[in-house]
Structure 1
Amino acid sequence: MKILHIDSATTGANSVSREVSAAAVAHFKEKNPGAEVVYRDLGTEPLAHLNPTTTGAIRLPAEAHDENMKAAFAAERAVLDEFLGADVIVIGAPMYNFTIPSQLKAWLDRLGVPGVTFSYSEAGPEGLAGGRKVVIASTQGGEYEMGGAMEHQEQLLKDFFGFIGITDPIFIRANKIGYGPEAREASIADAKAEIAKL
């Protein structure tokens, strides 16, 4: 088994999403002692936002690459290959200003590749990246219902992964963490109890 562990919080040791995502990875490693874990920390080593060079490197066929795209291709494709090579993807996804951190969005932008993770036909879009388990450690300072007013975090992730063929992402939620120490600890404990059921 290969596990891809993604963190995106910028709050360091105070990050709840990092604690919950680490607990999820530990859970899967305990169940699969030989599992290989690949770790990418977008909070400390963010990917650049897409530009014409990186977009071309990811989306255009090799024969259409200019010299800059050729130079960028290997590093850009490596991000996608990490994802495609994983059986389980664990993502630490805090809510920042009602949505996901921009560095997590930059990572998602590397995964949405026509002809690789999705395709279009007259019947509409088809996801091509199914067959993987995605577990999202979702954290919120307040309490927001998926798809509700001001909630553009979990719904975005659900829609994105569904679009590329992963229609059943698992959300492990720790919310109300801004309500004080007791609420924070209770929410973390609840999240870890949910992980134990996976």
Structure 2
Amino acid sequence: MPQLLHLDASARSDSFSRKLGTAFAAHWRAAHPDGTYAHRDLVADPVQPLDEARVRLSALSSLHGVRDLAAMDAVAAAAPDLARAWDATRPLVVELLGADVLAIGAPMYNFTVPAALKVWLDRVTLPWLPLAGKSAVVLGARGGAYGPGTPREPFDFQEPYLRAYFTALGLTDLEFVHTELTHAPVMPFLAELRDAHEASRTEALARVAALATRTPAA
């Protein structure tokens, strides 16, 4: 039974990345009627930032050769602060491990990912975390244009960062869908780019529909 984990990290409730995520989830669920779906809003329900105990858990997991949840449970039981750090981490890791497909709503903030998403990544990442065999679609929104060949392409620290992060953990079935020029409809000095924004939005929605129906379930 395939499982989809849908994350939202936009600070705006009516954001373009959330709309792409909602569309992806709807198409995926229609294409996988036997699948299960979990949604986590990282802004409405923020993840606890890293503390010293959580950092020690990562180090200890390497020291003890941890390879699974049961072994991590044993390491975390060694001290109350480790147990508390693991209590805040374990449900997120279980949710991630159970997913075959990730749909990640991630707008670009200040050229990179939102803090809410970065905190989640920091919290769930452990040296033994296995992501090979899963697939992910990152659903982005950018105020300007950052695609290949644009003047601001070198300013894009969002897609390269997420690509590096996931591939380093073994997840190579990774797609990015961006709605670009989202500032054009609301900023008068970008009015001439509104048609380009609309074309980007339409193309993004079409790609979302195609990816949701073809994304394989591990």
Shared fold (TM-score, shorter chain, > 0.5): yes
* Contact residue 57 and residue 76 of structure 1 kept, 8 A: no
Deviation at 1:187, TM superposition (A): 2.6
Structure with the greater alpha carbon radius of gyration: 2
Residue matched to 1:98: 111
Task: Supply the distance in 2 between the matched residues of 1:44 and 1:185 (Cα, whole angstroms).
Answer: 28
* Contact residue 135 and residue 172 of structure 2 kept, 8 A: no
* Structure 1 residues 40-189: aligned runs within 5 Å: 40-61=40-61, 62-63=74-75, 65-114=78-127, 116-117=128-129, 128-145=130-147, 148-180=153-185, 182-183=194-195, 184-189=197-202
Task: Supply the distance in 1 between the matched residues of 2:93 and 2:58 (Cα, whole angstroms).
Answer: 9
| Alignment size in residue pairs | 186
Deviation at 1:57, TM superposition (A): 3.8
Identity rate, percent: 34
One-letter identity of the residue aligned with 2:100: D
* Contact residue 3 and residue 86 of structure 1 kept, 8 A: yes
One-letter identity of the residue aligned with 1:160: Y
One-letter identity of the residue aligned with 1:141: G
Unaligned runs of 5+ in 2: 62-73, 187-193, 212-218
Relative to its length, the structure with more helix (as a share) is 2
* Contact residue 112 and residue 164 of structure 1 kept, 8 A: no
* Contact residue 94 and residue 140 of structure 1 kept, 8 A: yes
* Contact residue 20 and residue 188 of structure 1 kept, 8 A: no
Task: Supply the distance in 1 between the matched residues of 2:11 and 2:92 (Cα, whole angstroms).
Answer: 20
* Contact residue 3 and residue 101 of structure 2 kept, 8 A: yes
Deviation at 1:67, TM superposition (A): 0.8
Q: Report SS of the residue matched to 1:40.
A: strand
Q: How well do the aligned residues superpose, as a CA RMSD in angstroms?
A: 1.9
* Contact residue 27 and residue 209 of structure 2 kept, 8 A: yes
* Contact residue 132 and residue 170 of structure 2 kept, 8 A: yes
Q: Report SS of the residue matched to 2:176.
A: strand
Task: Supply the distance in 1 between the matched residues of 2:116 and 2:109 (Cα, whole angstroms).
Answer: 11
One-letter identity of the residue aligned with 1:105: K
One-letter identity of the residue aligned with 1:50: L
Deviation at 1:59, TM superposition (A): 4.8
Task: Supply the distance in 2 between the matched residues of 1:22 and 1:10 (Cα, whole angstroms).
Answer: 15
Deviation at 1:39, TM superposition (A): 0.9
Q: TM-score if structure 2 supplies the norm length?
A: 0.79
* Contact residue 48 and residue 88 of structure 2 kept, 8 A: no
* Structure 1 residues 13-28: aligned runs within 5 Å: 13=14, 15-28=15-28
* Contact residue 94 and residue 139 of structure 1 kept, 8 A: yes
Unaligned runs of 5+ in 1: 118-127
186-195 vs 139-148, which deviates more? 139-148
One-letter identity of the residue aligned with 1:132: K
Structure 2 residue 31 is matched with structure 1 residue 31: yes
